[in-house]
Amino acid sequence: MDERVGVPPAGVALWLRGRPLGGDRAAVMAVVNRTSDSFYADARAGDTDAAVAAVERAVRAGADLVDIGGVRAGRGPVVGTAEEIDRVVPVVLAVRAAHPDLPISVDTWRGEVALAVARAGADLLNDTWAGHDPRLAAIAAEHGMGLVCSHTGGVPPRTDPLRPQYPLDPARAAAAGSDDRGVPEPGADPLDGVLVDVVDTLTRSARRAVEAGVDPRSVLVDPTHDFGKNTWHSVHLTRRTSALTGLGHPVLMALSRKDFVGESLGLEVEDRLEGTLAATAIAAWSGASVFRAHDVLATRRVVEMVAVLRGERAPLRALRGLG
């Protein structure tokens, strides 16, 4: 806790394009999928024009950065490297021309795509598949980009988890908590096995990125909800966000309309907004720095309100009881 009683420590701000994002609140990363088969229909953009229009809507809603993806994360039709490049590079070029100062992230695990979008003007590589292609860190460093370090429990790209298990190893737990990161004592909760695995994996991945030359302020760590995890794992990681903020890097939370929200409430993807925002509020209170969101305006309002409650942002007006 910091000097304010009951308030968890603040998270680390993400820096891109030479400045911190979000200011006195967590930053909002808008999801823009240059695909026709994303799990959430409202996020699908089947061509470049539709994707650019989605970016414009996100900017108007207050997005701090946009995340452009060319391949559905889950199972679906094969999308080759060349096709992924053809999908995302024109969007990056168009957005960079229209918004010279808007930070652009690209969701990819392929080195060829990473290099192409780096040359097109992207600022962040969102490696959702946990270093499947180890070239991404070097590409990010060479081009002055940021990098998202994620955790999938060893699951390869576009693979759904099958009965993932994370037994709690006491020795590993002790090592993961060796510098007071908030990792619990072994045996505190059986689900802490996934927390220890995530902390250990992200610690090592972030270290490799920094050693490759990526600015530490531009290395995001992402527990990667649902990827290589069941619903209990994702709920527990949200509950223990403060253990992730202790890693010393900005924490990315990609919670938006995910299965752990739907399974928790028994809802399909179209009805998961309120559950997403509840999880967002918990993670923001605990110091997460960036939220990847389909619903930009609602997410921005939640993180702004959390910032007020944390004492980091003043109310925009405070007239009640004064007149």
Please give the Cα distance from 259 to 266 (Å, whole number).
10
Residues 151, 144: contact at Cβ < 8 Å? Answer: no
Is it the case that residue 82 has pLDDT exceeding 90? Answer: yes
319 found inside a domain: no
272 found inside a domain: yes
Identify which has the larger pLDDT, 212 or 3.
212
* Predicted local confidence at residue 185, as pLDDT: 55
Tokens read off for 115: 């290099």
151 found inside a domain: yes
DSSP conformation letters of 251-288: BEE--TT-HHHHHHHT--GGG-HHHHHHHHHHHHHTT-
Q: Please, what is the average pLDDT of the chain?
A: 92
How much is the average pLDDT of 212-228?
97
* Predicted local confidence at residue 292, as pLDDT: 98
Q: Could you tell me the CATH number of the domain that includes residue 266?
A: 3.20.20.20
Q: How confident is the model at residue 74 (pLDDT cuts 50, 70, 90)?
A: confident
* Predicted local confidence at residue 75, as pLDDT: 83
Per-residue pLDDT tens digits for 19-30 = 999 999 999 999
Q: At what angle do helices 192-212 and 135-142 cross, to 10 degrees?
A: 50
Residue 75 in 3-state DSSP? coil
Is it the case that residue 259 has pLDDT exceeding 50? Answer: yes
Residues 227, 150: contact at Cβ < 8 Å? Answer: yes
Dihedral pair phi/psi, residue 42, rounded to 5°: -65, -15
Is it the case that residue 290 has pLDDT exceeding 90? Answer: yes
How many CB atoms sit inside 10 A of residue 185's CB? Answer: 11
Dihedral pair phi/psi, residue 30, rounded to 5°: -80, 135
Q: How confident is the model at residue 175 (pLDDT cuts 50, 70, 90)?
A: low
318 found inside a domain: no
How much is the average pLDDT of 190-212?
94
Q: Is the pTM for the entire model greater than 0.75?
A: yes
Q: How confident is the model at residue 179 (pLDDT cuts 50, 70, 90)?
A: very low
Count of H-run helices and E-run strands, the chain: 11, 10
* Predicted local confidence at residue 111, as pLDDT: 97
Is it the case that residue 33 has pLDDT exceeding 70? Answer: yes
Per-residue pLDDT tens digits for 135-144 = 999 999 999 9
Residue 323 in 3-state DSSP? coil
Please give the Cα distance from 110 to 108 (Å, whole number).
6
21 found inside a domain: yes
CA proximity to 13, closest of 83, 70, 65: 65
317 found inside a domain: no
167 found inside a domain: yes
* Predicted local confidence at residue 1, as pLDDT: 47
Is it the case that residue 184 has pLDDT exceeding 90? Answer: no
Domain count across the chain? 1
239 found inside a domain: yes
Q: Which of 2-11, 154-163, 166-175, 197-206 has the lowest mean pLDDT?
A: 166-175
* Predicted local confidence at residue 159, as pLDDT: 86
Domain span at residue 243 reads 15-310
* Predicted local confidence at residue 187, as pLDDT: 52
How much is the average pLDDT of 33-60?
93
* Predicted local confidence at residue 194, as pLDDT: 94
Per-residue pLDDT tens digits for 223-256 = 999 999 999 999 999 999 999 999 999 999 999 9
CA proximity to 144, closest of 166, 127, 122: 122
Is it the case that residue 98 has pLDDT exceeding 80? Answer: yes
* Predicted local confidence at residue 27, as pLDDT: 98
Is it the case that residue 178 has pLDDT exceeding 50? Answer: no
Identify which has the larger pLDDT, 90 or 165.
90
H-assigned helices in 143-248? 170-176, 192-212, 231-239, 241-245
* Predicted local confidence at residue 177, as pLDDT: 57
